[in-house]
Amino acid sequence: MIWKLPFNLKKTKKLTQAVKERPIPKHIAIIMDGNGRWAKARQLPRVAGHRQGVEVLRDIISICSELGVNHLSLFAFSTENWNRPDDEINALMSLMVEFLQKEIAELHEKGVKIWMLGDIKGLPEAAAREVENAKAVTRNNKGLQVNIAINYGSRTEIIRAVQNIARDVSIGKIAINDINEDCFSHYLYTNGIPDPDLLIRTSGEFRLSNFLLYQCAYTEFLFTEKQLLWPDFNKQKLLESIFEYQNRSRRFGGIIE
C-alpha cells in the first residue's frame, strides 16, 4: 500500500515537481479494476462505471504524456471477459469504438501512438475496424505509446509464442540454440516494447489476472487500497504511485551497496 506522502507534497503541483525531478518510469502498466463496483455503489448500471473509467483514462494518458512516459499499457478486455453477459460485452466494445472515434484526432495531434496487445481478429467487426484505423493514423507518432490490451490473455500469448517458435524451428528459420530471452520476446505481442517498470492495479485486488505474466518478472507492483476504484483514480493518485515507485530500490536480483 502507498499514499504516505511527506506533508509538503500533498498538493498536486508540488508533487508533480518532485516527480519530475527523479527518473520517470519508462513503461507503466495499469489493470483498471473496479468499474462495476463503482457503479453498483451508486445504484447505476455497470456500463456507467465503464463509461466513467473511460473519462479517467483521458486524464491518465494526458499526464503520462506530459511526464515523458514512453509506454502506457492498459488492460481493457481479457480473453476471460468473454464470459461476461452479452450486454456488458457489447457496451465495452461500443465504449472502445466511441473512445477511439472521439479521441483519435487529439491523441494524434499530441503525438500519441496507439498500439494493441491481443488477438484483434477475435473482436467484433466494428471494434476491429476502429482499432486498425487508430493504429494506422498514429503509426508514425513518436510520443507516448498507449498499448491497449484487448482480447488479451498472457497464457495465450505465451502459448502462441511457443507455437510460432516451434514452427520457425521446423522450417529452419531459426535453430534451437537461437532460442533465448531476446529471441522469445520477439514472438510476444509486446515485441519491441520494454518490460513494465511499474504496474498499478486499483480496487485492492492482489493479482495479475493473466496480464503480462512474462513481462512483469522484475516489475514493481503497486496495489491500491480497496476503496480506490478505477473511476476514482486521477492525476494525484498516478503521481503518488510514481513517487512511491521512485522511492523503491530496484535490484534485479543483485545487491546495491
List the chain domain ranges.
23-153+195-244
- One CATH from 3.40.50.10330, 3.40.50.1240, 3.40.1180.10, 3.40.1380.20 for 23-153+195-244: 3.40.1180.10
- Amino acid in the structure at residue 9: L
Q: Where are the beta strands (DSSP E) in 153-241?
A: 198-201, 220-223
- Mean pLDDT split into 10-residue runs, the chain, 257 residues: 60 91 97 97 96 96 97 97 95 95 96 97 95 97 98 98 98 97 98 98 97 98 96 96 93 71
Nearest-angstrom CA–CA distance, 181 and 152:
21
As separate numbers, helices (DSSP H) first and strands (DSSP E) second, the chain gives 8, 6
Q: Does the active-site annotation cover 119? A: no
Structural element, H or E, at residue 54: helix 46-67
How far from chain centre, in Å, is Cα 14? 26
Give the three cell numbers for residue 244: 512511491
What pLDDT shows up at residue 54? 96
Residue with cell 482480447: 151
Q: One of 33, 147, 151, 197 is an active-site residue; which one?
A: 33
Q: One of 81, 141, 164, 234 is an active-site residue; which one?
A: 81
Q: Does the active-site annotation cover 81? A: yes
What pLDDT shows up at residue 257? 63
What pLDDT shows up at residue 8? 62
Q: Count CB neighbours of 21 within 10 A.
A: 8
243 with 14: CB under 8 angstroms? no
- The total number of residues shown for the chain amounts to 257
